[in-house]
């Protein structure tokens, strides 16, 4: 402390301070734009070889619907600017490539391994800036705040995915899938990119820290069993009504018949 207070009056102090201030603003600006521009520059983490391999995979597996240059066709949207996160989500969860055209791409065992997924992501992110795969820091639930996550989840997500994250119906046969058992990374990427009919929740809407909170809340639902016993799919009153009309009535019927029958 003493040393610092002495050097404060050094002639170069003003310059150092100015430099620090510039660095700080610049850094902040960089962070801010990075979030707003959805971290376009992180695509550089992929190598050129990955992108080349990815292009080959793309041509043979995806180009039929998305076009040879990923410019999109009647059967599939353009992938320019969707970013690595979208590829990692869609291919990583097995939704892409789709088995056939339908109302909604479904979760299924992945067709590509992790390495191939990365290569595809590298190729697509080279086409235009877009959201990148999230950093591990934002997927660490031990750092998240479940209470804040619950608030954000209930306000933004529960209307489609249900309060307990078990999914729900959309129009014309589409549906919001369950979030139980979905990896932290894929939940993050889904919020970031808005796959299928899901709206986009970019970092300006829900910040990376808030996304982590949401994931924390969902994981707290996943790792904890309902304290009241079987959760009946967390579907609410319909499941409860069904249980009382089947199991409840069934047990009652057995007892009424026993009670009024004659003993042998």
Partner 1 sequence: MGNHSDDARKTSSVVVTSHEEGKETFPNPGLPPHAPRLTDVDPHKAKSAERQVSLLFVISILGAILFWVAYFGIKIGGEYYDVMNPEPTNALRLQNLLLGLGIAFSMFGIGIGVVHWARTLMPDHEMVEYRHAVSAEADRAEAQEIVETIIAESGIKRRPLLRNTLIGSVILAPLTFVTFLRDLGPADPSVLKHTMWDKGVRLVRDPSGTPIKASDVTLGSAYHVLPENLSSLSHDQGYLNEKAKAVVLLMRLDPSDLKVSAGREDWNVDGIIAYSKVCTHVGCPIALYEQRTHHLLCPCHQSTFDAADECKVVFGPAGHALPQLPIAVDSEGYLVAQSDFHEPVGPAYWERGKHVKEMAGETK
Partner 2 sequence: MSHTTVETDYQAKTSTGRIANFVDSRVGLSGIIKEFGRKIFPDHWTFMFGEVALYSLVILILSGTFLTLWFNPSMAPVAYDGSYVPMKGTEMSVAYASTLHISFDVRGGLLLRQIHHWAALMFMLALTIHMLRVFFTGAFRRPRELNWVVGCVLFILGIAAGFTGYSLPDDVLSGNGLRIVDGIMKALPLVGTYLSLFFFGGEFPGEQLIGRLYSMHIMIVPALILLCVAIHLFMVVVHKHTQYPGPGRTEGNVVGFPVGPVYAAKAGGFFFIVFGIIAFLASTFTINAIWNYGPYDPSPVQAGTQPDWYVGFGDGALRLMPGAWPWHWEFNVLGGTWVFSVLGPLIPAGLIIMAMFIWPWLERWVTKDNREHHILDRPRNAPYRTGVGVAGIIAYGTLMVAASSDLIATHFHLSLNDVAYWLRASLILGPLVGFFVTQRVCLALQRKDRELVLHGIESGQVVQLPHGEFIEVHKPLDEYRRYKLVNFESPAPLAAQPNKKGKISFAEKTRAGLSKIWFQDRVVSVTPAELEAAHQAHDENHGSVAASDTKEIH
108 phi-psi bin (left φ>0, alpha ψ -120 to 50, beta other): beta
172 phi-psi bin (left φ>0, alpha ψ -120 to 50, beta other): left
**Which of 173, 181, 229, 237 forms a contact with partner 1 (CB under 8 A)?**
229
Token pair for residue 21?
């201030």
**If contact means CB under 5 to 8 A according to the sort of partner, which of partner 2, partner 1, none does residue 18 touch?**
none
**If contact means CB under 5 to 8 A according to the sort of partner, which of partner 2, partner 1, none does residue 184 touch?**
none
Question: Per CB under 8 A, which of residues 161..180 are in contact with partner 2?
Answer: 161-164, 167-173, 175-176
What is the rounded distance in angstroms from the CA atom of residue 253 to the CA atom of residue 224?
34
- Tokens 């809340």 correspond to 217
What is the rounded distance in angstroms from the CA atom of residue 218 to the CA atom of residue 224?
10
Q: Answer yes or no: is 157 a known binding residue.
A: yes
Token pair for residue 175?
């549906």
CB of 220 to partner 1, least distance (A): 4
What is the rounded distance in angstroms from the CA atom of residue 80 to the CA atom of residue 126?
9
Q: Is the peptide bond before 194 cis (omega within 30 degrees of 0)?
A: no
Q: Answer yes or no: is 33 a known binding residue.
A: no
Torsion angle of alpha carbons 97, 101, 103, 106, nearest 10°?
A: -30
**Which of 200, 238, 239, 253 forms a contact with partner 1 (CB under 8 A)?**
200
- Rank residues 106 and 196 by Cβ distance to partner 1 and give the closer one: 196
**Which of 9, 259, 263, 264 forms a contact with partner 2 (CB under 8 A)?**
259
Q: Answer yes or no: is 160 a known binding residue.
A: yes
184-193 helix and 208-223 helix, angle to the nearest 10 degrees: 140
- Rank residues 10 and 29 by Cβ distance to partner 1 and give the closer one: 29
For partner 1, the binding residues (CB under 8 A) are: 36, 141-142, 144, 146, 151-152, 155-156, 159-160, 168, 170-172, 174, 176, 194, 196-202, 204-205, 210, 216, 219-221, 223-229, 258-259, 261-264
Residue ranges of the annotated binding site for heme c are 62, 65-66, 157, 160-161
For partner 2, the binding residues (CB under 8 A) are: 103, 146-147, 149-151, 154-155, 158-164, 167-173, 175-176, 217, 220-221, 226-232, 234-238, 240-245, 247-249, 251-253, 255-257, 259-261
């Amino acid at each position: 402390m003493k040393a610092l207070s002495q050097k404060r009056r050094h002639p170069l102090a003003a310059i150092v301070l100015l430099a620090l201030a510039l660095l700080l603003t610049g850094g902040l600006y960089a962070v801010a734009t990075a979030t707003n521009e959805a971290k376009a520059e992180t695509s550089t983490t992929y190598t050129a070889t990955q992108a080349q391999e990815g292009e080959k995979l793309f041509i043979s597996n995806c180009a039929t619907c998305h076009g040879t240059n990923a410019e999109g066709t009647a059967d599939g949207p353009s992938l320019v600017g969707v970013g690595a996160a979208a590829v990692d989500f869609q291919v990583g969860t097995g939704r892409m490539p789709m088995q056939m055209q339908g109302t909604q791409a479904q979760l299924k065992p992945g067709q590509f391994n992790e390495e191939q997924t990365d290569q595809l992501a590298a190729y697509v992110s080279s086409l235009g800036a877009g959201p990148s795969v999230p950093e591990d820091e934002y997927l660490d639930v031990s750092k998240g705040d479940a209470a804040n996550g619950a608030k954000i989840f209930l306000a933004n997500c529960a209307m489609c995915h249900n309060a307990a994250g078990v999914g729900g119906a959309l129009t014309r046969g589409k549906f919001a899938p369950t979030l139980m058992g979905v990896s932290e990374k894929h939940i993050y990427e889904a919020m970031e990119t808005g796959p299928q009919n899901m709206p986009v929740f970019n970092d300006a809407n829900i910040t990376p820290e808030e996304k982590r909170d949401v994931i924390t809340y969902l994981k707290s639902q996943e790792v904890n069993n309902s304290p009241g016993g079987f959760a009946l799919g967390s579907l609410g009153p319909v499941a409860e009504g069904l249980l009382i009309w089947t199991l409840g009535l069934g047990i009652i019927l057995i007892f009424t018949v026993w009670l009024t029958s004659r003993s042998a």
